[in-house]
Amino acid sequence: MADRYPFSKIESKWQKHWADNKTFKAIDNLKDKPKYYILDMFPYPSGSGLHVGHPEGYTATDIVARYKRMRGFNVLHPMGWDAFGLPAEQYAIETGIAPSIKTVENIATFKRQIQSLGFSYDWDREINTTDEAYYKWTQWIFLQLYNKGLAYQSEVAVNWCPALGTVLANEEVINGKSERGGHPVVRKPMRQWMLKITAYADRLLEDLEGLDWSESIKDMQRNWIGKSEGAEVNFRIADQDLSLDVFTTRPDTLFGATYMVLAPEHPYLEKITTPDYVAQVNAYRVLAERKSDLDRTDLAKGKTGVFTGAYAINPVNDTLIPIWVSDYVLMSYGTGAIMAVPAHDTRDYEFATAFDLPIQEVVSGGDITKEAFTQIEDGLMINSSTKDGQFSINGMKPSKAIQVTIDWLEESGKGKRAINYKLRDWLFSRQRYWGEPIPVLHDGTSTIPLSDSDLPLTLPVLDRIKPSGTGESPLANAKEWLQVVDPSSGKVYTRETNTMPQWAGSCWYYLRFIDPDNHERAWDLEKEKYWMPVDLYIGGAEHAVLHLLYARFWHKVLYDLGYVSTKEPFQKLVNQGMILGMDGEKMSKSRGNVINPDEVVKQYGADTMRLYEMFMGPLERSKPWNTSGIEGVYRFLNRLWRHFVKDDGGLIALSDEEPDAETMTMMHASIKKVQSDLDNLAFNTAISQLMVFSNHLRELSEVPRQALETLVMLLNPFAPHISEELWALMGNETTLAYHVWPEYDEKMLVRDTITMAVQVNGKVRAQLEVEVDAEKEHVLAMAHEHVSVKQHMEGKTIVKEIVVPNRIVNIVVR
RNA sequence: GCCAGGGUGGCGGAAUUGGUAGACGCAGUGGACUCAAAAUCCACCGGUGGCAACACUGUGGGGGUUCGACUCCCCCCCCUGGUACCA
């Protein structure tokens, strides 16, 4: 590669220039410019360093940030580190190296790699979730939640591995064995912290409406929240002074309820099971409990269950229906009990068929001898009236019958309208060392939150991090840290050994970026008002549900407390697609298809890397890496350099004449195209336009200064180093970063003549060069003259002639 | 199963409100330069037929609407992501 342009010299020069001059420092509360807050999902600094997927999103946000600055915005574009997490802890257990030390190393690597790409972050705002000065405020937010009654403790089963003496995350358990060592894992109930996210379910759902997010991500969140409306119906137990509530979305099918099912964990089972059935019910419960230890997917294979010997009374027709127990009913949803309507529910149908239970049709329109009829739209109610005829929904559409039945249930005191959510409360504690300590004390009977002045509660330095053996986190080994003696009363308290999950730090980092050095409070309210909401948030789709839902939840709590001014944190969200390996597969070490960004930068430079990642295809789509594809954009930059820079390093002579008409049109068209593509994050087509424009300029014998300046300005967001260098070579003394974006003139886009296609029966037969807005008659006359048009019309009659001005002519003949 | 997104040359991908399918780039072929190669530059480049002009055909498959469909409607197939007995 003899003539390649000196990218490494140029890139290090400008990176140093930007850093020395703090070119990208964001100014708080600036009034004379509109603000624009553009955020990346900050990375977990793993030991393996950056992979090419990271810079895809970062390049996209950087391009927008640089573009917005040129458009006159005050841009906040920060970066930080989500550095708590399991890998560092595992590494510590294996090697004895403290997570804090390893984390610092990893961050240094990530930072060096990110900086080598020339991103325009305001590094003065860098934050790190493992920093005491940061997690002090994570703990403070936890206390806000606690004081608001949104944090509580509960016994929840965890994956306990006796051999390792530790609790495992779900992803560390494979087929009931520990991922490391293959030891047996059992479910063990432990005291856990929960956050009451369910209290915000409705608002998390409703407020999605106003957000500029892709419909698919909104849908994923909606499905996760899983709101369903229906009724709670009360069933009395025959011969006992007990009753059971069930939740159903189909109260219209109440007359078709032929049995009832309880979840194996349902507390009523002990009360209602008749003596004859106790043995089999207990056996089933044990079986079900063990089953949940196995892979859950096995459960779907077929329905199992046993009869309890008890009967319930169907409140609409007083029919006695048997009560069964089966694990297809989940204790964690609804009331843990269902009314089964086999004729109109696929699962109930399967169960009834397996155990020979009666199937009663109450909605006509299907064939219940074959399968459950679940269509709610096309069908009419049948067999649905009380014995005395006082209440009947026969002949109604199910949708109507649902409402009528609920009204009747409420009037007769047999049930009520009800709403259920799939969303569960958030299991917030982890039995880990490397996380934010939960700032509470225990005295054996109650839990006492720390006061704000006791924060941060820092992690104790341990000689060696090892499992406690009890299932508690390694913090249980830190005896001195664990015990707190009240100096006045002498009373002894114990610290909480659970820590927060990795989600905690990332739930509010976007707020800390606003005011990262504030020691008095988490952030300043004025600055928050100025910068929020985040205008554009870009990151991977893997966080589409949990991170975004948790962060939105915290944000709403903070909103209720008056600490933030917007209901939602992230106004516009875009998920970048995955970059696949050359083989079209997900990049992974085991496949050996990982591309190292350091290598790419070394060989081609940061500008080429940035340009290529954006040129590959639409941001949101997954696309495979192609090493020879990168050569293409590299050649583009090389050609640009070689054509305009002489061997001695000076710029070629530019013409100060007005560009010719064609160049002028193309220049304005390019501004328009690049600008609208940037507004739509369509980087690939914008780059294509830059190539077209630059190819044109290379064909000119004399290059007009104005045209080259425009090209360099348009290129700047994408390839800022080479752009700044060319800009400086053109004699400009100030940075291009804040230079005003060129304006296009719509008038310049209008050309005198235009090429129109002429079709005969929909097939293109000729091209006409006509004046813009030429008369229809004139165009048709020209078309008729054309040799090949004539040929295809010969001997036929004209049926119809269509002229779309400036576009197309179609002559229909027969 | 359900929800969402997608299927266009050898490859990545372009195509305003339906209006010349394949922009831009890669790979490939031919040529220039070179002792030679690399790099660079020029030309060609969906398929079939033809020396060529040109003709036919072509956007996952089938049908429809229209003067005209990658684009709109119906049915089907395949791929990716999410979710999974949520009553």
Q: What confidence tens digit (pLDDT) does each residue in A3-49 have?
A: 689 999 999 999 999 999 999 999 999 999 999 999 999 999 999 88
Q: Residue A91 contacts by C-beta under 8 Å, 6 or more apart in sequence?
A: A47, A97, A99, A102
Is A401 (CB) below 7 Å from strand B?
no
Q: What is the DSSP string of A2-64?
A: TT---HHHHHHHHHHHHHHTTTTPPPTT-SSS-EEEEEE-PPP--TT---THHHHHHHHHHHH
State the pLDDT confidence band at A203, using cuts at 50, 70 and 90: very high
Instruction: Measure the CA–CA gap between A173 and A175, rounded to whole angstroms.
Output: 7
The C1' atom of B24 and the CA atom of A687 lie apart, in whole Å, by: 8
Q: Does domain A144-210+425-495 have CATH number 2.170.220?
A: yes
Beta pairing, strands A579-580 & A623-624: parallel
Question: How many angstroms is C1' of B18 away from CA of A212?
Answer: 28
- The mean per-residue pLDDT over the stretch A555-577 comes to 96
A531-535: average pLDDT: 97
- Protein residue at shortest CA distance from C1' of B19: A808
**Separation CA A56–CA A610 (nearest Å):** 8
What's the pLDDT at A295?
A: 47
* Predicted local distance difference test score (pLDDT) of residue A301: 67
A685 Cβ within 7 A of any nucleic strand B atom:
yes
Closest nucleotide to A331's CA, by C1' atom? B86
Strand B contact at CB of residue A226, distance < 7 A: yes
The Cα A60–Cα A58 span in angstroms is 5
> Exposed, middle or buried: residue A54 (CB in 10 Å: 0-12, 13-18, 19+)?
buried
State residue A255 phi and psi, 5-degree precision: -70, -15
Q: In this structure, is the CB of residue A770 within 7 Å of any atom belonging to strand B?
A: no
Both structure tokens of A474: 């390694």
Mean pLDDT in residue range A511-531? 97
Q: Do the bridges between strand A426-427 and strand A337-340 make them parallel or antiparallel, or are there none, so unpaired? A: unpaired
Mean pLDDT value across chain A: 91
Candidates A712, A720, A718; CA nearest to A741 is: A712
pLDDT for A132 equals 96
Q: Which two tokens stand for residue A241?
A: 């002074």
pLDDT tier for residue A197 given thresholds of 50, 70 and 90: very high
Question: What's the Å distance between residue A220 CA and nucleotide B49 C1'?
Answer: 52
SS3 A430: strand
- Nearest nucleotide, CA A768 to C1': B20
| CA–CA gap between residue A16 and residue A8 (Å, rounded) | 12
**Which one is predicted more confidently, A80 or A431?**
A80
pLDDT at position A145 over 50: yes
Residue A299: band (very low, low, confident or very high) from pLDDT cuts 50, 70, 90: very low
Which residues are within 8 A (CB) of A721 and not within 5 positions of it... i.e. 6 or more apart?
A7, A10, A11, A13, A14, A15, A118, A605, A606, A607
Closest nucleotide C1' to the C-alpha of A806: B19
Each residue of A261-272: pLDDT tens digit? 999 999 999 999
The residue extents of the domains of chain A are 144-210+425-495, 228-420, 625-748, 751-813
Q: What is the mean pLDDT of residues A161-189?
A: 77
- pLDDT (0 to 100) of residue A314: 95
The answer to whether strand B lies under 7 Å from the CB of residue A338 is: yes
pLDDT at A448: 94
Which nucleotide has its C1' atom closest to residue A761's CA? Answer: B67
Closest residue (CA to C1') to nucleotide B53 in the complex: A788
Q: What are phi and psi of A716, to 5 degrees?
A: -50, -45
Q: Kindly report the number of other CB atoms within 10 A of residue A148's CB atom.
A: 13
> How many Å apart are CA A273 and CA A351, to the nearest integer?
20
Candidate CATH numbers 3.40.50.1000, 3.30.70.100, 1.10.730.10, 3.40.50.620; the one for domain A625-748 = 1.10.730.10
| Residues 6 or more apart whose Cβ sits within 8 Å of residue A264 | A284, A285, A288, A289, A325, A326, A327, A331
CA of A689 to C1' of B52 (A): 35
On whether the CB atoms of residues A340 and A276 are closer than 8 A, the answer is: no
Distance A615 CA to B71 C1' (A): 24
CATH 3.40.50.300 correct for A751-813: no
pLDDT over 80 (residue A179):
no
Instruction: Give the per-residue pLDDT at A300.
Output: 52
pLDDT value, residue A681 = 95
Round to a whole number and report the distance in Å from the CA of A789 to the C1' of B52: 20
Instruction: Look at residue A629 and give its three-state secondary structure.
Output: helix
Interior/surface letters A705-725, b for 16+ CB within 10 angstroms, e for the rest: bbbbbbbbbbbbbbbbbbbbb
Question: How far out from the chain centre does Cα A632 lie?
Answer: 32
Is the Cβ atom of A78 within 7 Å of strand B at any atom? Answer: no
Name the residue with the least CA to C1' distance from nucleotide B84: A297
* Per-position b or e across A377-401, b if 16+ CB within 10 A of its CB: eebbbbebbeeeeebebeebbbeeb
Of all nucleotides, the one whose C1′ comes closest to residue A215's CA is B4
DSSP β-bridge partners for residue A764: A759
**The CATH number of A228-420 is which of 3.40.50.150, 3.90.740.10, 3.40.50.300, 3.40.50.2020?**
3.90.740.10
Residue A296: pLDDT band with limits 50, 70, 90: very low
- Whether ipTM > 0.90 holds is yes
Q: How far apart are CA A280 and CA A187, in angstroms?
A: 23
Output A586 or A131, whichever has higher pLDDT: A131
Of A801, A755, A799, give the one whose Cα is nearest residue A781. Answer: A801
Asked if A742 and A710 touch (Cβ cutoff 8 Å), the reply is: yes
- Per residue in A640-679, pLDDT (tens digit) is 999 999 888 888 888 998 999 889 999 999 999 999 999 9
**From CA A569, how far away is CA A552, in angstroms rounded?**
7
% of residues, chain A, pLDDT over 90: 70
Work out the pLDDT band at A2, boundaries 50, 70, 90: very low
* Cα separation, A814 vs A800, whole angstroms: 10
Contact between the CB of A198 and strand B at under 7 Å: no
User: Band of the pLDDT at A212, cuts 50, 70, 90?
Assistant: very high
A642, A5 Cβ separation under 8 angstroms: yes
When pLDDT is cut at 50, 70 and 90, the band that residue A297 belongs to is very low
Q: CB of residue A621 closer than 7 A to nucleic acid strand B? A: yes
More confident residue, A751 or A59: A59
Helix A606-615 and helix A683-699: axis angle, to 10°?
Answer: 120
- Residue A377: pLDDT band (50, 70, 90) is confident
The pLDDT value recorded for residue A162 is 82
Which nucleotide shows the minimum CA-to-C1' distance to residue A230? B87
The predicted-structure confidence for A704-734, as pLDDT tens digits, reads as follows 999 999 999 999 999 999 999 999 999 999 9
